[in-house]
Structure 1
Amino acid sequence: MSSSLLEHCKKEIADLLQKGLIRPSKSPWSCPTFYVQKNAEIERGVPKLVINYKSLNDALQWIRYPIPNKSDLLKRLYNSNIFSKFDMKSGFWQIQIDEKDRYKTAFTVPFGQYEWNVMPFGLKNAPGEFQSIMNEIFNPYTEFSIVYIDDVLIYSDNIDQHWKHLDIFLKTAKHQGLVVSAPKIVLYQTKIRFLGHNIERGTILPIQRSLEFADKFPDVIKDKTQLQRFLGCLNYIANFCQKLRIICKPLFQRLKKNPAPWTEEHTLVVKKIKAQVKSLQCLVICHPTTPKIVETDASELGYSGILKQVINNQECLVRYVSGVWNDTQQKYSTVKKEILAIVLTIQKFQDDLINQKFVLKVDCQSAKFILKNDVKNLASKQIFARWQALLSAFDFTIEHIKGSNNSLPDFLTREFLQGSP
């Protein structure tokens, strides 16, 4: 540890002692510490002390309390216009550790050993424990509050309603002894940044900082681990990009054993993805009762789907989905691929479609026939029957939209002939 970091460490430890967050320790446990200076620390101008709790975490039993799914939380904001945001000050430090367990949290610095009186950052069960406590406190108010670990969003339809919601939240926090970070309070906003997205009047878009990952990768990504990281980052924006998985197929093939050499095609794919990331469409948050439309498409490479909802007689984009065929699916006929695209798309959107009536728009008339008729005389009756069964849980009507090719007569002739005794 450099002399400047050592001086900073002495001041930080003295501050933690003065606040009663830690105390000197003679514990037989001991976890090492180090400082990091990543982008967030550089922006704050303060290095971050990190305790390597790997050995303690290995010994701890998992308490698998569920952390909420961010997408599910954001869906609650479909009809909200006013927002306020709070951050629990040093959230985990607001939870006391049982006296008999404090020795387990001991850590060393160059000039001594200390242990925590409160729950430190870095313990594997800390996020779940904090989420559990916050849920217990704020679950009665889920109609106007979202809690994600130590972040709280209050949302309302109008100003008057929002004032009442804030009053309830602040009184509850005070009663429970929770402390919010004053510098991070954001009040009465019509546009808010929350969970990595910009939210405004029922629309959603990833914040710009969350999209900067693309430019941190080169256009030529030959290293397998680096390519895996790049493709992993794309999961964050998958809902906002049409046919993303299909576009990425050449890159996913590079992850296989003994891949072909990197070519200009791969470089062009990376450049195309980077361009898409910089021009993402703003999507609407799915409303639970508005009319829904699903559109699907299948190609030789894979499938894509779009979920829309109708607002003021306009079709608005909710999200995209896409995927590539596996080796078995790749051998399917064109019609089978079209129907499988429908099945996979509806399954991906099922949280927004279950128990609702929606319209399925297809450009394959054969698909419409198979989904709504008896398939016992068709050669592929078993697989079609299975897909019919999967879709029977959904309430939808099918509209045929003209495609470039209507193969219904040829398809029926071929299937009936193959299915005949």
Structure 2
Amino acid sequence: MVLDSMSGSTTYSVISLMDGFYQILMRKDDVSLTAVSTPSGMLWEWLVMPQGHKNAPATFNPIVSNLLRPYRNFAPSYFDDIFIHSRAVGGMTDVEMHIQHLLKAFEVMRENKLYANLKKCIFCAPEIPVLGSYVSRDGVRADPEKVATACAWPTPQDQKQLRQWLGLATYLYHYSKNFAQTVRPLSQLLKADATTTWSSQHQTVFDAVKTSLSTAPILMLPGHSKPFHVVCDASDFAIVAP
């Protein structure tokens, strides 16, 4: 949903919240439940939501999302990142609209005492990182660092190394056509009862995926003013909706 809302935008900003969870106060009745004892005999209690708490992400993300809900069309958020995106509208340039959008987001932050980490913020840029990808007016492209890592990966020598590489490659599967079908021979090697060893076929598949990632296309964002068509397909081992 974060990426889909950016279709048609041309100017972008990222507001990174400082120490995300620490900006949320603990409920007064719950403070005593966070008490810890130190070797010196002192008792310490959390007055703000601690990092690593089991329910912290499920608490923090909805809070920020709900605060920005009136502006979700141009200011979607994901945990401690707020993504502002704008386009030219009604005689105003994209930059003029973007400044208006930033001011509205800042107003929400000021009213609710949310603070930004300026060192991590990006303002009025033609491209920004969003959830592991890069978004611009041209569309969405893969993170070049992740692509470089996947393409430089040596031939796996065991299941652990293969699983690690497949995990990284799967993260980028959007940019590799027919990814699931292509890597199936490699996935078969991860089964507990796998008896097949690495062969020339597996090496060919491994190299083919790396080649497809190295030439990954820029993906277009959906135009919500246009009709959508869902085409389903099925096979012996997968169901997809391209």
CA distances 1:83-132 after superposition (whole Å, capped 9, x unpaired): 11101110100011134433443557787764422111111211110112
Measured in 1, the distance between the counterparts of 2:34 and 2:170 equals 35
Answer with 232-241 or 111-120: which moved more: 111-120
Of 185, 189, 193 in structure 1, the residue corresponding to residue 125 of structure 2 is 189
SS of 2:128's equivalent?
Answer: strand
Measured in 1, the distance between the counterparts of 2:235 and 2:141 equals 25
Equivalences, count: 234
Identity %: 26
Measured in 2, the distance between the counterparts of 1:133 and 1:227 equals 39
Q: In the alignment, what sits opposite 2:72?
A: 142
RMSD: 2.7
Q: In the alignment, what sits opposite 1:76?
A: 5
Tell me: CA distance 1:261–1:78, structure 2 relative to 1, closer, same or farther (3 Å): same
Q: In the alignment, what sits opposite 2:175?
A: 240
Q: In the alignment, what sits opposite 2:90?
A: none
Note if contact 1:254-1:260 (Cα within 8 Å) is conserved in structure 2: yes
Of 325, 342, 362 in structure 1, the residue corresponding to residue 236 of structure 2 is 325
Note if contact 2:16-2:82 (Cα within 8 Å) is conserved in structure 1: yes
Q: Show structure 2 runs of 5+ residues with no match.
A: 88-93
Measured in 2, the distance between the counterparts of 1:150 and 1:105 equals 23
Tell me: higher relative CO, structure 1 or 2? Use CA pairs within 8 A at least 6 residues apart.
2
Measured in 1, the distance between the counterparts of 2:52 and 2:13 equals 28
Measured in 1, the distance between the counterparts of 2:112 and 2:205 equals 52
Of 72, 94, 97 in structure 1, the residue corresponding to residue 23 of structure 2 is 94
Note if contact 1:96-1:119 (Cα within 8 Å) is conserved in structure 2: yes
Measured in 1, the distance between the counterparts of 2:66 and 2:214 equals 40
Q: In the alignment, what sits opposite 1:151?
A: 81
Paired AA for residue 142 in structure 2: P
Q: Once the 2 structures are TM-superposed, how far is the Cα of residue 197 of structure 1 from its aligned partner?
A: 1.2
Q: Once the 2 structures are TM-superposed, how far is the Cα of residue 292 of structure 1 from its aligned partner?
A: 6.0
Measured in 2, the distance between the counterparts of 1:288 and 1:221 equals 46
Measured in 2, the distance between the counterparts of 1:121 and 1:217 equals 33
Paired AA for residue 183 in structure 2: C
Over alpha carbons, which structure has the higher Rg? Answer: 1
1:16-95 matches, within 5 Å, as 72-95=1-24
Note if contact 2:151-2:211 (Cα within 8 Å) is conserved in structure 1: no
Q: Once the 2 structures are TM-superposed, how far is the Cα of residue 227 of structure 1 from its aligned partner?
A: 2.5
Q: In the alignment, what sits opposite 1:176?
A: 112
Paired AA for residue 224 in structure 2: P
Tell me: CA distance 1:82–1:271, structure 2 relative to 1, closer, same or farther (3 Å): same
